[in-house]
Amino acid sequence: MVRALIVYSSLTGNTEACCDIVAEELENQGVEVTTFHAYDAMPEDYLSFDICVLGSYAYGDHGVVPDEFEEFYEEMAQLNLSGKIYGVFGSGDTFYPTFCGQVDDFQARFDQTQASRGAEGVKVNLYPEEEDAERLVHFARQLVETYQS
Ligand code: FMN
């Protein structure tokens, strides 16, 4: 069975709602899903999974990685995830000059690990509305399709 790990962080529930949509669709696609909060996860945890997913909100005026992901983000630089598929989603607020910069930052980090991007990152403005949910479902399906191709 294909296995996916989603590591996420959410302060006010928006990213968590995105995470639930992604997890449900991965399960619909027959994937066994494990979900860890950023506080309880280390980048090495991805080594035991086929599909590596990360969901984070944006923090700081330039959309940077939130505090609880900082160590994780730093440690990702030493990780080799070649052969694995990854995908990043996140929530932010278009009010800020840099909208969802954390999604780009985490994608760049995953690229350094030599994992393959299975789907383009999804940036959600605040809480996922219907159209966002569709993009997140598509994201999850694409991750599985890329893994299987
Ligand atoms: N969103 C952005 O897109 N870019 C930012 O630079 C940014 N900075 C923020 C700084 C602070 C102090 C706060 C409170 C929010 C900021 N946000 C920014 C918005 C949050 O990322 C957004 O509200 C998000 O939906 C929160 O997700 P959560 O409900 O999962 O915690």
pLDDT by residue (tens digit) across 108-128?
A: 999 999 999 999 999 999 999
Residue closest to 52 by CA, chosen among 28, 71, 79: 79
pLDDT confidence of residue 61? 64
Model pTM score: 0.97
Give dist(CA 92, CA 128) in Å, integer: 11
0.95 surpassed by complex ipTM: yes
Would the CB of 139 count as within 6 Å of ligand 1?
Answer: no
3-state SS class at 120: coil
Q: Find the 66 Cα to ligand 1 centroid distance in Å.
A: 9
Q: Find the 93 Cα to ligand 1 centroid distance in Å.
A: 6
